Amino acid sequence: MARTLKVRLTSPDPNLIHRFRNFGEDVYRALRYDCDVSIQEIDASTSEFYLREIHKREVRTIAAKVRKIIDKHCQFLPPIEVYEIPESPHA
């Protein structure tokens, strides 16, 4: 079963949307071959986007890669959360 990670800006601010999208574009470039990440979703995002179709054994590795990119951008953005979305019991 594939997993999904949510990447969320904890304090959305209209003045930071451009920086959050730039961060998202870095995530896209780093992970586009490792999971399903949409540049269109990132470019339309104001506070969150998703990384989908992650193999169960890769969730921690992908999350760690996102956190490394967060560290590069942290001085420009409020805290960003990265967490797995619970699976639907009906899936």
Instruction: Report the DSSP beta bridge partners of residue 44.
Output: none
pTM: 0.90
Q: In terms of pLDDT, which residue wins out, 85 or 90?
A: 85
**89 found inside a domain:** no
d(CA 16, CA 3): 28
State the pLDDT at residue 88: 57
pLDDT tens digit sequence for 11-22: 888 998 999 999
Under 8 Å between Cβ of 70 and 27: no
- Residue 10 CB contacts under 8 Å (≥ 6 apart), including other chains: 78, 79, 80, 81
Tokens 């990384």 map to which residue?
A: 51
- Determine the structural domain holding residue 37 and report its residue range: 3-84
**90 found inside a domain:** no
Burial level of 60, CB count in 10 A (0-12/13-18/19+)?
A: exposed
pLDDT tens digit sequence for 7-58: 999 988 899 899 999 999 999 999 999 999 999 999 999 999 999 999 999 9
* Residue type at position 68: K
CATH code (residue 27): 3.30.70.100
The number of distinct structural domains making up the chain is 1
